[in-house]
Every structure is written in C-alpha cells, then in structure tokens.
Amino acid sequence: MRAIFTFAISVVCLTGTPALADSTTGEILAYDRLANVIILNDKTVWEIVPKDLPLPADLKQGDKITIDFFTNGDSGVGKINSISRVGG
C-alpha cells in the first residue's frame, strides 16, 4: 500500500501543474496597436499573443473588456484565448 501511495505522489509531482482557464475584466487605460499591448486601469499589462488574435473593432481607451486566458500556474499567463468588449 505504501508503494502505491509513493508512486501516486511521484506521478503527481512529475506531471506538473495543468493549465487552467481564467478571465479578467477591466477598463482599457492604454492600447498600443503596434506593440500589441493593452494596459488596464488596474495597471496590468497584457501582451496580445498570438498577434493575429481577433479583437473587437476600434478598441480604445475607456472600453471595458474581458480577457479569457490560460494560466500556467506560477509561470503566469500561458495563452490569451479571446478578448471581448463588455456591454453595449
């Protein structure tokens, strides 16, 4: 029984942390189309990767958006899945 428990713990430790889906909503403070960077009012900086990610037309300062992304545990943001405008 002890060997099975030790093996199970080893497998969990070796497989790493899975990517988890998450999202954040905020108001755009700045949007640099050339650098593909969005800064929200809470001062978080989001690099838009992949660069060909479809974005809402005419994003601008003051727009409220939701960013859906995968996290890589302690490594931070893995991949942005979508950016969508909130409200009308």
Other Cβ atoms within 10 Å of 22 Cβ, number: 13
Residue 2 confidence class, pLDDT cut points 50, 70, 90: low
**Domains of the chain by start residue, with CATH:** 19-85 (2.40.50.320)
- Could you tell me the strand order of the sheet in which 64-71 lies? 45-47, 37-40, 20-32, 64-71, 77-85
Highest mean pLDDT among 27-31, 44-48, 84-88: 27-31
Lowest mean pLDDT across 1-10, 19-28, 35-44: 1-10
pLDDT of residue 45 exceeding 60, the answer is yes
| Over residues 80-87, mean pLDDT | 92
Q: Considering the chain, what is the average pLDDT of its residues?
A: 82
> Reduced to 3 states, what is the DSSP secondary structure of residue 8?
helix
Strands 77-85 and 37-40: unpaired
Position 6 scores a pLDDT of: 56
DSSP per residue, 22-64: EEEEEEEEEEETTTTEEEETT--EEE-SSTT----TT--TT-E
